[in-house]
Structure 1
């Protein structure tokens, strides 16, 4: 985040690469000759990837998928994944930040860590690590019970505007991707984000139970959390945070409602320690860039039903600054930013 892109054209190009868009055209393609990408770049040696959450979490899945693809595509000699859970990923962040210049270590990161830095007195930030690449993401979806009176997202927002306290909305923890997107949506419709009746739950299962039990009026989560209930017509989708359609789910997108600027995804990325030399940073960027166009990574994307949001190096660095500004703004409006 420390390096700045000076060209206005470059900044505009990065701004267009919104997190909710799939970016297959940005990722390099594997060679027609079928040669491994490892032959084109200097492969990594023995590497440790820190997953800043417990086993089975999204960050853990991302770290292990990356490790599997790096080994399977012969981009690295060996990969060890270490779980360092706690405080929205900022425990792992502090560990990496405390070892500037360290080689052989990468860390999974993402929106939740960015929010965690802003909402907790961590003493460290993403400025203390080296951005390598944004990898994947998952769009948010807003749903209501099948029998709900709210037929469209406009119906729901009108009710919230009239009586925010009377429309409880289930989502993940305070400051999560769910909370951030709901806050951005409220701002776009001139609703004070701090007035939202947001009901945080520790997991999608609890939020789904609350929805099906009519304990809340609506819910927001990543698509995967509500997919089964949507397909079974127990929940009705109202809005998707991406402009791209989702296979099997008919729902309005942010583009459909005239707000493509609200494009949003719960993104995940890979970082290195701060203070590494330029040569090592470039090696990491080159390896991950080649990996993004490989069959090994394509298999991981398909297996995990992830959107390809690949963006690397300086472009990712500049985009992080923009995303941090957007996230900090809405978290401030929600009254969650530590002053």
Structure 2
């Protein structure tokens, strides 16, 4: 085969993702992070981008933070600005689904392209170090006495910690619509509010608060998992007699209108990254649980999650 024919063959194979990633043309990926810096989506997106570069699944990854409305603002920018772009990814997860259900934004997640679920994480509820309350039981007692006096701080409206707060209220006999939930645009803002004592109790993924819990700047009082988290001496809500369990998973989507070949290529890049030593290190550092799911199984998972969250939020008076 002549050299020019050989090069044409390579180009054709690369176009459909049939070549190993290392043999394909340079790839400069763009990562939309629909949240402000400092939170779970930001940490996830940047850790995934680093793993992709380290694993040679991409040459470079650039990041664009656009926080607000449980990710809906970033989703709108992604949907409207990335059509047909096979090198674009967006971080998303359970929080975005909850925000879409409550906020009913003009754009919908179904306009983008599902790629993969990558992690799962449970939330922790914490008190500021100088809080007059010492336990979740103290918080619940005050909630029963005066629901509005307990300020719950966390992510955007419809986030898993918002849903958990509403579920806790319902389970202890308080009207969920009466809870005083303060939504923040990113994990950094929520952390600052808790450290400053500007909220009564705060919720987020355990990894976001772990350094402050370790330093004694926050007191962890409950986790939303079925069993205690490994190596974490914090009681579950169920242990405390509150029948609430809810997880926070995260994943990535591709741009609207990409071809099946582009979707497969993006999926392969993500799968290469999550098998890397760099990603294993990120999982350990952030106390994330690997929860990889791709293809039709991920499509169905998202549909089922929408239905489940909508049911929970309706029962809790949030919809």
TM-score (norm 2): 0.75
Partner of 1:111: 94
Please give the alpha-carbon distance, in whole angstroms, between the structure 2 residues aligned to 1:119 and 1:154. 29
Please give the alpha-carbon distance, in whole angstroms, between the structure 2 residues aligned to 1:295 and 1:216. 38
Partner of 1:269: 251
Partner of 2:57: 75
1:126-145 correspondence to structure 2 within 5 Å:
126-144=109-127
1:211-250 correspondence to structure 2 within 5 Å:
217-233=200-216, 235-243=218-226, 245-246=228-229, 249-250=232-233
Contact 1:173 1:200 in 2 (8 A): yes
Aligned residues: 295
The superposition leaves residues 227-262 of structure 1 with CA deviations (integer Å, 9 ceiling, x where unpaired) of 345335564432111235446531112454577871
Please give the alpha-carbon distance, in whole angstroms, between the structure 2 residues aligned to 1:79 and 1:145. 36
Please give the alpha-carbon distance, in whole angstroms, between the structure 2 residues aligned to 1:94 and 1:269. 17
Please give the alpha-carbon distance, in whole angstroms, between the structure 2 residues aligned to 1:92 and 1:223. 24
C-alpha deviation, 1:203, in angstroms = 1.9
Q: 3-state DSSP class of the match of 2:157?
A: coil
The superposition leaves residues 282-306 of structure 1 with CA deviations (integer Å, 9 ceiling, x where unpaired) of 3322332233222131123234443
Partner of 2:277: 295
C-alpha deviation, 1:73, in angstroms = 0.7
TM-score (norm 1): 0.71
Please give the alpha-carbon distance, in whole angstroms, between the structure 2 residues aligned to 1:234 and 1:245. 21
Q: 3-state DSSP class of the match of 1:66?
A: helix
Matched, 1:157 2:140: yes
Please give the alpha-carbon distance, in whole angstroms, between the structure 1 residues aligned to 2:295 and 2:242. 28
Partner of 1:204: 191
Considering Cα pairs closer than 8 Å and 6+ residues apart, tell me whether 1 or 2 has the greater RCO: 1
Partner of 2:288: 306
Partner of 2:305: 323
C-alpha deviation, 1:155, in angstroms = 5.5
Contact 2:117 2:251 in 1 (8 A): yes
Please give the alpha-carbon distance, in whole angstroms, between the structure 2 residues aligned to 1:228 and 1:121. 35
Contact 2:160 2:246 in 1 (8 A): no
Contact 2:99 2:156 in 1 (8 A): no
Q: 3-state DSSP class of the match of 2:196?
A: helix
Partner of 1:5: none
Partner of 2:72: 90
C-alpha deviation, 1:126, in angstroms = 1.0
Partner of 1:123: 106
Rg larger in structure? 2
Q: 3-state DSSP class of the match of 1:89?
A: helix
Partner of 1:175: 158
Partner of 1:35: none
Contact 1:50 1:84 in 2 (8 A): yes
Contact 2:164 2:244 in 1 (8 A): no
The superposition leaves residues 154-194 of structure 1 with CA deviations (integer Å, 9 ceiling, x where unpaired) of 55435534542344434344333321221233334453311
Structure 1 residues 292 and 166, CA, compared in 2 at 3 Å: closer, same or farther?
A: same
Please give the alpha-carbon distance, in whole angstroms, between the structure 2 residues aligned to 1:199 and 1:44. 47
Q: 3-state DSSP class of the match of 2:271?
A: helix
Contact 2:33 2:64 in 1 (8 A): yes
C-alpha deviation, 1:41, in angstroms = 9.4
Contact 2:190 2:202 in 1 (8 A): no
Partner of 1:28: none
Partner of 2:3: none
Please give the alpha-carbon distance, in whole angstroms, between the structure 2 residues aligned to 1:188 and 1:263. 14
Q: 3-state DSSP class of the match of 2:158?
A: coil
Contact 1:241 1:262 in 2 (8 A): yes
C-alpha deviation, 1:133, in angstroms = 1.0
- Structure 2, unpaired ranges of 5+: 1-18
Q: 3-state DSSP class of the match of 1:194?
A: helix
**Residue in structure 2 matching 1:49, options 10, 20, 31:** 31
